[in-house]
Amino acid sequence: MLESLGQAQNETELEGWLVSASHLPGPRANLGLAERFASGLEAIQLDDEWWNRLLQWMKLNAEDAGDNEPRVFLPFCAIQALGACYAASDALRKAEIFAQIRGAMNDPRWRMREGAAMAMQRIGEKDFNTLRSYIAEHLEQANMLERRAFIAALAHPPLLTEDARIVFALDISDRIMEDIHADRASGTKEDFRVLSKGLEYAISVFAERLPQDGFALLAKFAATEDKRLHKIIKSNLGKARIAKKYPEEISRIAGMIT
């Protein structure tokens, strides 16, 4: 794929090629192309020219390229490529990559927030300890949008290959739910909606792989009177990935919610 990009005569032509293939405007961007682009850069040496180009694309903000405008595909591709190239980068670039990811977590465009989670998944696939350390270090001070990115990044089946990883994901979920219950989470009403949407599916991903721990978490918050948490729990209980496998647990926990 990079060979095709390499045929572009200049940066403008390269950008035009990606933008024209973005499938935007539309409901779904060309995710396959973005993935191949990131994998292609991961496979080669990320020289200064490519590095600077990716950072330049990351500067395209919501005013330059709105959520459904074709040019948003450039920073969407760039953030995933930065995540893919993290493992082979030096310390300075690694720090910059996480700075770019954090910026994307807080982007007003949902596509960029998704890109941030995908970038962290790329990092975690290479070295889960790096992802775990970053989330653990930043969770306490993270805002709602950042916490949503953490949850979305962890709810990635290729990462959930060991019980210890799933326990970590459930622990992060538990701490976020506790903070919601205690009104300790910081953010706007819209930020909470975004965080809630992430929690509404992610916990079921974890519970499918570690049912006893996952259902214990859901039951813990079902026992509260917090309607915000009940909405999150009900959504997870309705996910086919666990609803079909564990009907008795689903019924038991659903019965706890009044």
31 and 45 together in one domain: yes
181 and 234 together in one domain: yes
- pLDDT digit string (tens) for 32-69? 999 999 999 999 878 899 999 999 999 999 999 999 99
Count structural domains, the chain.
2
Q: Three-state SS for 18? A: helix
Percent of the chain with pLDDT over 70: 95
132 and 255 together in one domain: yes
Q: Is the link from the previous residue into 25 a cis peptide, with omega within 30 of 0? A: yes
254 and 132 together in one domain: yes
Burial of 200 (0-12, 13-18, 19+ CB in 10 A): middle
174 and 258 together in one domain: yes
Report helix, strand and coil shares of the chain as percent, to nearest 5: 70, 0, 30
pLDDT exceeds 80 at position 12: no
pLDDT of residue 3: 53
164 and 101 together in one domain: no
**Terminal-to-terminal C-alpha distance of the chain:** 54
Among 29, 116, 134, 129, residue whose Cα is nearest residue 80: 116
Residue 256 lies in domain: 128-258
Highest mean pLDDT among 33-47, 129-143, 175-189: 129-143
Last residue of a domain, one of 84, 111, 126: 126
- pLDDT digit string (tens) for 84-115? 999 999 999 999 999 999 999 999 999 999 99
132 and 246 together in one domain: yes
Higher pLDDT residue, 8 or 220? 220
Least confident range of 7-11, 122-126, 210-214: 7-11
Last residue of a domain, one of 98, 126, 154: 126
pLDDT of residue 13: 84
What are the structure tokens assigned to 126, written together? Answer: 């290479």
pLDDT of residue 4: 52
Model confidence band, residue 5 (pLDDT cutoffs 50, 70, 90): low
114 and 210 together in one domain: no
pLDDT exceeds 50 at position 9: no
103 and 143 together in one domain: no
120 and 2 together in one domain: yes
pLDDT of residue 186: 80
pLDDT of residue 28: 93
- Mean pLDDT of the region 125-154: 98
132 and 258 together in one domain: yes
Amino acid at 197: K
- pLDDT digit string (tens) for 212-254? 999 999 999 999 999 999 999 999 999 999 999 999 999 999 9
128-143 core/surface letters (b: 16 or more CB in 10 A; e: else): bebbbebbeeebeebe
Last residue of a domain, one of 103, 126, 149: 126
227 and 135 together in one domain: yes
Among 205, 194, 204, residue whose Cα is nearest residue 234: 204
- pLDDT digit string (tens) for 69-91? 999 999 999 999 999 999 999 99
